[in-house]
Amino acid sequence: MTEAPLSIVTGGGAGIGRAICQTLARAGDRVLVVDLAAERAEETVALIRADGGDAAAATLDITDEAAVAALIDGAGPIRRLVNNAGIFDVKPFDALTADDFRRMYEVNLVAMAALCQRAAAKMERGSAIVNIASRAMLGAKQYIHYATSKAAVGGFTRSLALELAERGITVNAVAPGVIETDMLRARSDTNLDGLRAMQPGGTLGTPEDIAEAVAFLASDKARFVTGQVLLVDGGRSLGGSLGI
């Protein structure tokens, strides 16, 4: 029997990352759920196994290069890498320091790049990398340090797609809009009704909306799609009659 393909998902312990893990598992992948918090990763694994899927958990600080190397080197053949782990906080521009920018870039870009480099070295033709960007890359108030780090993810994705094209590895990104997660609800600046009012369809996204987009870009159905940043935001980025 042929072994199921291995998908590695960082930040898989909750929210969007958990939904991605579950969706890939339902598609038949073995999923390595990677998270900074061991308990969260194990919870995701338990949910996948209860649903009949195959998963294992790994605890990892993605900024720890030695730990990243050990994880990737010990994982066996990798078919898909989903870089979902990242950090976010709200802070007005006047209060930002250079270290705030450095911290965002170290986690949201530099650590992700190192993971891609290590994983790509083990990937065969037909493999896929999917990065999680953000609609904030188009511009956002109160977290410019985050928005610029995610804009960098978009540029990195397009450039890496060119680097890996000859190897037959696709590289794409999904840029979520406002997704209703526990993290969003806990934010100090969250007004869910106000956010819904700014959406063309009047609704917010779900983690599953992002997971389905990721699963498509990671699948063989998207073999001719690479270097793309897919906005999954319910049309909010269109502006239109809302004037936003």
CA 129 to chain CA centroid, Å, is 10
Place of tokens 């609609």: 135
Q: Which two tokens stand for residue 28?
A: 């038949």
Q: Kindly give, in sequence order, each residue whose CB lies less than 8 Å from that of residue 179, ignoring residues fewer than 6 positions away.
A: 15, 16, 204, 205, 206, 207, 209, 210
Note if 146 is an active site residue. Answer: yes
Edge-to-edge, what's the strand order for the sheet holding 128-132? 54-59, 30-35, 6-10, 80-83, 128-132, 170-176, 229-232
Rounded CA-CA distance 135/137 in Å is 5
Which segments of the chain does DSSP mark as H helices, in order? 15-26, 38-50, 65-73, 98-105, 111-120, 144-164, 182-186, 192-197, 207-218
Strands 30-35 and 54-59, sheet pairing: parallel
Catalytic annotation, pick one of 123, 146, 214, 233: 146
Place of tokens 């992002």: 210
Q: Which two tokens stand for residue 80?
A: 């898909």
Return the number of other C-beta atoms located less than 10 Å from residue 128's C-beta. Answer: 26
Catalytic residues: 146
